Amino acid sequence: MERNELLGLTEREVAERRQRGEGENGGKRITKRRSQIVKDNVLTLFNFLNFLIAGLLFAVGAYSNMLFIAIVILNIIIGIAQEFKAKKLVDELSILNRPHVKVKRNNLEKSVDLEEVVKDDLLILESGDQLCSDAIVVEGMLEVNESLLTGESDAVVKEKGAPLLSGSSVVAGRAYARVTHVGDENYATKLANEVKKEKRIQSELLGSMRKVTRFTSALIIPLGILMFLEAFFLRNAAVDEAVISSAAALLGMLPKGLVLLISVSLAAGVIRLAKMKILVQNIFSLETLAHVDTLCLDKTGTITDGNLKVHSIIPMALFPQGEIDRLVQSYMAACDDHNATIRALKEKFPARAAYESVHKIQFSSKRKWGCVSFAEGTVFVGAPERMLDMVPENLMQQMEKGRRVVVIGYTGGIWTDGGALPVGIRPLYAVILEDTIRPHARETLEFFRKEGVDVKVISGDHITTVSQIARRAGLHGWRNAIDMSALGETANYDLLCQKYSVFARVTPKQKQELVKSLKRQGHQVAMTGDGVNDLLALREADCSIAVADGSDASRQIAQVVLLDSDFTNLPQVVMEGRKVIHNVTRTAQVFFIKTIYSVLVSLFCLLTNQAFPFIPIQITLIDACIEAYPSFLTIFESDTRRIKERFLPTAIAHAAPFAIAMTIIIALTSFETALPAREQQTVMYAYLVLISMAAVVKSCIPFSPLRAGICVTMALGTLGALALFPSLFEVTALSGGMISRILIGTVLSLILVAVLDVLRRLLNIGQGNGRRRAA
């Protein structure tokens, strides 16, 4: 190796490479730009239709009837503000995980951000470092864990000239490595970009609102034109009267606040989770995870935290106890290894340099042992099959339980031969190690079991290790384990998914096939992963979840990132999703009442050549006081019941009885000739107000102090506005006969609602299984 290569690049060389585009890009932006948030909230079809209607009302001078546009603008402002708040929290959390890299430049070591690395930079790699760029070893020796790439947990030795792939991590050694690829040319980034190709968002809420948007937009323009032409030519109405009447019908068809309600609810869930260090990169994944009925977990980094702990220590030789401990503690003090095994041993044998080391042979997974020599002798640490002539039965039993065994031995004199072990090593201790199960893992798996979520453990490790860890974590089906390496390419994945809960020695392609099979069987699948080897399966899953300790590539494509790398926080994400879906479904029922009756009444008016009975300002009062006010005050309630129904069928099925009853009572009233036109319109509007309020009251059952208060204030506010501003809302004072008529008509309408609701239940309309896959 020439000396100048070990000096690293100069600042000038770094600048030149960056100018040539040979620098890291620091990864893709997680959140939308502020301009994109504004655009997405302003440039919507609903807003276009609302502003179009407002423009027509303005053109005919119906200024008081334009009040609804203030609600639309307020909706836009609230939606933008909520998304800005969520973006700020998500951006702050994403910075916490930004990696730093140690490089050598101008013969000086320095730490830089990942985006500052350029091609040919000289990386300084030590135990515990993760490679963010492809490189090649130029000096030194490393043991590299490529489990994030391959799924295999055994370390691989990398010496001078050996390639290093991004996504792998150093478990032992120290070396200099020259960066060979940056940005999208990196191995891990290529894989990530391949699987990040645009994936259709699996969201029932989003899909449902698209259906509603398509339906209303297909109706609203032709229906509006027909109603205007009928009024102008057949009823000889003035232009302003025809516009106002048509506008009221069209406004009623638009569930203006519902889109905002969904986005605000999801954004609020994202904000609450961000405060728990759960990064939601796709806002609709909250909803998806709430529907999940199958959860696929990795072993390493998910159920376990990647660390080992000492289960027990078995003495193996008669030796002065104090002397043994001083030798082992001196080994720990002199040892340069930082892998999980050594860290666990140091917990039991704290490093203390009782003796001064004179020679070291670093532990290597290839030779499976390492040693430190002192003037008083040499201490060895290694695998039992290398340290012992024959492995005792008691140690074999421990290994069969999925535990690891390390033997500590001693021999007199100094040992310098790294290729072979000396004869006659005296075993001192057999140390039994086991993976550390995450706290609350058992409670988390029990939560999912009770909630009807089937948990599958999928790992690249040995079948005994994986099944035993599943047992310790509390997985009920831990015995149903299979070694996937023994299967051919023609494996029946559908049958395997039905029969087994634990899958070992799984390749990345097999992980993907398992997820595909589960989805074919109608399951909603969530997949957790931490490595590049999980990318294909993460992309295939309905909801992808990564842990912060894993690869940067897995974090990039995941919809949810657990920043504290603790899968036991997943129930919180499920609960937030359930809150959103239950609250939106409950409140959407009220919004859809107006949409349905507006369509039905408009069609009735077209067929009978009658004017739509309401004006825009009256519809605006319903929007503000009966729809928006109760909905936004109850949207943050905690309803975490298991989801058993689908959003759109449920919301429409619950809204339809009220809308149908409302249409019938309005149609019957329109044929009455006993009342003057103004009084007749007031009676119909009273029906509309009272039946709409009854729907809100029904949606608030069972009552809580908040819900009861909302119902009371809703009634007082709506009726108070009508009493204070009758001319603005164009209603007349109520006579005794009108009050009796209104009360009787409302009671009969609510009886009809009850009958229709019973029929709905008997026919099982809107009671679909919540597990059915979204279209």
Before 702, cis peptide (omega within 30)?
yes
- The residue whose two tokens read 């590299």 is 144
Q: Are 651 and 596 in contact (CB under 8 A)?
A: no
What is the signed CA dihedral for 424, 425, 426, 429, rounded to 10 degrees? -150
E strand or H helix at 561: strand 560-562
Question: Are 605 and 249 in contact, with CB atoms under 8 Å apart?
Answer: yes
Q: 552 in helix, strand or coil?
A: helix
The answer to whether 533 touches 191, Cβ cutoff 8 Å, is no
Among 674, 774, 771, residue whose Cα is nearest residue 294:
771
Distances (CA, A) of 312 to 344, 345, 351, 398, 408: 12, 11, 19, 10, 13
Give pairs for 735-742: CB < 8 Å, separation 24+: 735/679, 738/675, 738/679, 738/682, 738/683, 738/686, 741/683, 742/683, 742/686, 742/687, 742/690
| 623 classed as catalytic | no
CA distances from 761 to 87, 528, 582, 743 (A): 42, 38, 19, 27
Nearest residue to 552 via CA among 535, 575, 569 = 535
Please say whether the beta carbons of 221 and 45 come within 8 A: no
Which candidate in 129, 134, 298, 461 is catalytic?
298
Give the span between the Cα atoms of 376 and 431, in whole angstroms: 23
State how far the Cα of 276 lies from the Cα of 568, in Å rounded to an integer.
Answer: 12
The token pair at 137 is 């070893």
3-state secondary structure 645-699: CCHHHHHHHHHHHHHHHHHHHHHHHHCCCCCCHHHHHHHHHHHHHHHHHHHHHHH
Q: For residue 551, what are the CA distances in angstroms to 127, 197, 438?
A: 16, 19, 19
Q: Closest Cα to residue 409, out of 393, 429, 439, 391? A: 429
Bridge partners of residue 371, in order along the sequence: 361, 380
Question: What are the residue numbers of the active site?
Answer: 298
